[in-house]
Amino acid sequence: MISDVRTAIANSLKNISGIEVSEYAPSVLNPPCAYIIQDAGNIDYQQTAGTGTWTLNLSVIMAVGLMDREETQRSLDTYCPPTGDSSIRSYILAANPENAFDAIWCNNAKFSPMEYNGQIYLTVRWEVKVMFYT
């Protein structure tokens, strides 16, 4: 199930022109790129006691570019609106082919520098919550 969610989100994000997308953290970043990670310790099997629902918390991380480049900071305008053709959030929310899960939310985006293999990248982390009814 978890791999189905990763695949669904990655396949949806691949519809955005010009970014590389991976279901897992890649060994090398080639910005702009996005990948999906499971947030440590964030599967809740008892979301609502007795109802058979559980939630999975993931993050979609996008490395926009090297931190020291002005164009990197400007490019956030392309990927961060809540809707639109290049909105990461829109494509996350559209990811659910064949009903791989029952509900999906993406309510937060956090911006920060991140070191990855000795380089410092400007990144955005979208917090994603997926709910399953069993």
Q: How far apart are CA 53 and CA 63, in angstroms?
A: 33
- Whether the Cβ atoms of residue 20 and residue 33 lie closer than 8 Å to each other: yes
Name the pTM for this structure.
Answer: 0.87
49 pLDDT exceeds 60?
Answer: no
Q: Is 8 exposed, middle or buried (0-12, 13-18, 19+ CB in 10 A)?
A: buried
- Reported as a single tens digit per residue, the pLDDT across 29-38 is 999 999 999 8
- pLDDT, averaged across the chain: 87
Domains of the chain, CATH where assigned: 2-133 (3.30.70.1700)
Q: How far apart are CA 94 and CA 72, in angstroms?
A: 26
Mean pLDDT across 82-90: 92
Q: What does residue 31 show for φ and ψ, rounded to 5 degrees?
A: -65, 155
- Whether the Cβ atoms of residue 76 and residue 89 lie closer than 8 Å to each other: no
Token digits for 121?
């990248």
Burial 104-131 (b: 16+ CB within 10 A, else e): bebeebeeeeeebeeeebbbbbbbbbbb
The pLDDT assigned to 74 comes to 83
Mean pLDDT across 36-48: 71
**Banded pLDDT at 41 (limits 50, 70, 90):** low
- Reported as a single tens digit per residue, the pLDDT across 91-124 is 999 997 667 788 899 988 999 999 999 999 999 9
**Banded pLDDT at 47 (limits 50, 70, 90):** low
Q: Which of 59, 35, 52 shows the shortest CA–CA distance to 116?
A: 35
The pLDDT assigned to 39 comes to 78
Mean pLDDT across 8-26: 94
The pLDDT assigned to 45 comes to 66
128 pLDDT exceeds 90?
Answer: yes
The torsion angle over the Cα atoms of residues 52, 56, 57 and 63, rounded to 10 degrees, is -160
